[in-house]
Amino acid sequence: MFCHQCEQAANGTGCNKVGVCGKQPNVAALQDNLLHGLQGLGFFASKARKLGATDPAFDAFLIEGLFATVTNVDFDAARLANIIVRCAELKNKAQKLYEDAFKEAHGIKARTFENGAPSWVPAADLVTQGEQVGIEKLHSDPDVRSVVEILIYGLKGMAAYADHARILGKTDPEVTAFIEQALAATCDPELGLMDFVNLSMECGKHNLTVMGLLNEGHVDNYGHPVPTPVNTGTKAGKGILVSGHDLKMLEELLKQTEGKGINVYTHGEMLPAHGYPGLKKYAHLAGNFGGAWQDQAKELPQFPGAIIFNTNCIQKPADSYKDRLFTWGCTAWPDVTHIDGFDFSAIIDKALACPDVAEAPGKEILVGFGHNAVLGVADKVIEAVKAGDIKHFFLIGGCDGAKSGRNYYTEFAEKVPQDSVILTLACGKYRFNKLDFGDIGGIPRLLDIGQCNDAYSAIQIAVALAGAFDCGVNDLPLSMILSWYEQKAVVILLTLLHLGIQNIKLGPSLPAFLTPNVLNFLVENFNIAPITTAEEDLKAILG
Ligand code: SF4
Ligand code: SF3
């Protein structure tokens, strides 16, 4: 196996024996094989679309297939093999759709494609086949391969957000067309470096659309988030802990657990759920348990109720809680019960059979500062900036992870001067969200915008502030100190670059898939810099 798609890549170069995430070599090969099949499907779906022929089945499948290959999502070889079989069926369908449309348009038979992803058919041994088509085979030129990888990881990250949006009924055919076109491009040996640079920027653009759709889906269904205190303790009684990003899944579970004496707790990236009026109305949405995903091995054994992951980031479960663990959606772990669809009776029964969660006091933390809430007090914020009470904004957030260098983000937040406001989002917030930052004239100094996809909200806030001060986003007293872990962070970064946002500080380490030349390109064009120390970076920013 060889995989270096996330920040955990072994030795900072790549996992080649087993994934640091827990991905076994057979699973890595199956994911590579699936990606190859998806390239083939994208190739024919894109060609068919150009001739006016589409099939909605491709859209959902491309999104789910890509999402299944995101870090910490699907570790189940049997499930991946089934997805590959389905991929082959759809690829055949797309090929036929294209060939029929071609015949109709031109009166002659379409040419046949004998090499690479367009000719992919699943072999009897899917693992061995997958070993032949890993990312090292993507392109012979290392710099081109590096940018192709940026594009592929961007597509994977975007697919994750598109999946949540689709579950809420929000889709955009232009996004689907782009996913098909970009997948087709990644297996085109004729394309060069700048083609992939442009496609990567385009991926950032489409991701902004997708995050906008997801935001719309959340707001349409649950209202705009409002500032809400969330307790981090537990109540006595039965409990279910929900981890991941999918709010629809949480809503359905809340409906089905109502009146059953079960308290529902959020974990990790589900924390922002407490800020939505349509979710916080459930009295048994009881609080937030634990820290970010990488602490699950330590924390989940302490939660005696049932636990469900509805998206990343799942890790190898210990035997102590494996039998009360469930997965949903694209997330899967071998021998862990997977729930398809929205019937949650299995986990409800399990929660009722599990021992009670004990009463434990917790802290109150504030969530719910989406763009609507922040812009609702924009006058106050702008006044405070003009009066010199707020001198700087720091967006500190992104994906969290296990590396010790990530203490940087805690230190940075602690050292931010008292006259500055910290905006945060995604699971990186757990590095400091239980600290007390106080307020500036009633405006909390720590504003939790939400999940990683709520980068959309952060962008809206930045754009509105730039409008109020009649300047560009890059001219605002705003610095972005971002942490990355997996492919969702890659696509958010592409969105920020597409918007022309400069001077981002990125850590804890730079992606292993960036070659020195590609990194230079990013530095020269966007002034991206790796984090150094909290003191030095703060000094460099504030002068
Ligand atoms: Fe390694 Fe990350 Fe790939 Fe897992 S996803 S195998 S940790 S690089
Ligand atoms: Fe975190 Fe996995 Fe990315 Fe959604 S939950 S930010 S790492």
Instruction: Give the DSSP letter string of 148-178.
Output: HHHHHHHHHHHHHHHHHHHHTT---HHHHHH
The boundaries of every CATH 1.20.1270.20 domain in the chain are 10-220
Rounded to the nearest 10 degrees, how much is the dihedral formed by the CA atoms of 240, 246, 251, 252? Answer: -80
Looking at the CA of 20, name the nearest ligand: 1
**Which of 7, 15, 72 maximizes ligand 1 atoms within 8 Å of its Cβ, making it the mutation to test the pocket?**
15
| Distance from Cα 244 to the centre of ligand 2, integer Å | 8
DSSP-based three-state secondary structure for 315:
coil
Cα 110 to middle of ligand 1, angstroms: 39
Q: How confident is the model at residue 97 (pLDDT cuts 50, 70, 90)?
A: very high
Closest Cα to atom 6, ligand 2: which residue?
399
Ligand nearest to the CA of 18: 1
Token duo for residue 39? 């390239």
Query: In this structure, are residues 47 and 117 in contact, taking their beta carbons and an 8 Å threshold?
Result: no
For residue 32, which ligand has an atom nearest its CA?
1
User: What pLDDT does residue 220 have?
Assistant: 98
Ligand 1: list residues with CB < 6 Å: 3-6, 8-9, 15, 19-21, 23, 71
Where are the domain boundaries for CATH 3.40.50.2030 in the chain?
228-353, 370-542
pLDDT at 167: 98
* Model pLDDT for residues 224-255, shown as the tens digit of each residue: 999 999 999 999 999 999 999 999 999 999 99
- Atom number in ligand 2 closest to CA 452: 4
CA of 426 to the centre of ligand 2 (A): 6
Pocket test for ligand 1, best of 1, 5, 293, 513 (most atoms within 8 A of CB): 5
15 is in an annotated binding site: yes
Q: Which atom of ligand 1 is nearest to the CA of 19?
A: 6
For 348-405, the pLDDT digits (tens) are 999 999 999 999 999 999 999 999 999 999 999 999 999 999 999 999 999 999 988 8
Ligand 1 nearest atom to the CA of residue 512, by list position: 8
**Directed axis angle between helix 193-222 and helix 173-186, to 10°?**
150
Average pLDDT of the segment spanning 411-430? 98
CA dist., res. 80 & res. 30, Å (int): 7
Q: For the segment 159-196, what is each residue's pLDDT rounded down to a tens digit?
A: 999 999 999 999 999 999 999 999 999 999 899 999 99
Reported pTM? 0.98
Q: What are the tens digits of pLDDT across the range 113-133?
A: 999 999 999 999 999 999 999
* DSSP codes, 268-302: GGGGGGGG-HHHHT-TTEEEE-SSSGGGHHHHGGG
pLDDT given at position 10: 97
Pocket of ligand 2, candidates 313, 330, 429: which has the most ligand atoms within 8 Å of its Cβ, to mutate?
313
Third-level CATH fold of 228-353: Rossmann fold (3.40.50)
Closest ligand 2 atom to the C-alpha of 244? Answer: 5
Q: For 476-533, what is each residue's pLDDT tens digit? A: 999 999 999 999 999 999 999 999 999 999 999 999 999 999 999 999 999 999 999 9
Q: What is the pLDDT of residue 403?
A: 85
Task: Tell me the CA–centroid distance for residue 269 and ligand 2, in Å.
Answer: 7
Residues whose CB is less than 8 angstroms from the CB of residue 107 and which lie 6 or more positions away in sequence, other chains included: none
The pLDDT, as a whole number, for residue 158 is 98
Dist. CA 392 → ligand 2 center (Å): 26
Q: Is 187 annotated as a binding residue?
A: no
Q: Residues of the chain with pLDDT > 70: what percent?
A: 100
Q: Is the pLDDT of residue 136 over 90?
A: no
Residue 408 has pLDDT above 90, yes or no: yes
Residues having CB within 6 Å of any atom of ligand 2: 245, 268-269, 293, 312-313, 399-400, 426-427, 451-452, 485-486, 488-489
> Is 269 annotated as contributing to ligand binding?
yes
Q: What is the pLDDT of residue 405?
A: 86
Architecture of the domain delimited by 10-220: Up-down Bundle (1.20)
399 annotated as belonging to a binding site for a ligand: yes
DSSP letters, 174-194, are HHHHHHHHHHHHHT-TT--HH
Q: What are phi and psi of 85, to 5 degrees?
A: -60, -45
For residue 355, give the DSSP letter.
P
Dihedral angle at the C-alpha atoms of 64, 67, 68, 70, nearest 10 degrees? Answer: 170
pLDDT at 86 over 90: yes
440-475: per-residue pLDDT in tens?
999 999 999 999 999 999 999 999 999 999 999 999
Query: Rounded to 5 degrees, what angle do the CA atoms 117, 159, 430 make?
Result: 135
Ligand at minimal distance from the CA of 491 is: 2
Ligand 2, from 72, 294, 485: best to mutate by most atoms within 8 Å of Cβ? 485
CA of 531 from ligand 1 middle (Å) equals: 22
Is the pLDDT reported for residue 543 higher than 90?
A: no
Q: How far does residue 6's CA lie from ligand 1's centre (Å)? A: 5
**pLDDT for 138 beyond 90:** no
Tell me how far the alpha carbon of residue 452 lies from the centroid of ligand 2, in angstroms: 7
**Residues 251, 245 contacting (CB under 8 angstroms):** no
CATH number of 370-542: 3.40.50.2030
- H-helix or E-strand spanning residue 392: strand 392-398
Answer yes or no: is 313 a known binding residue: yes
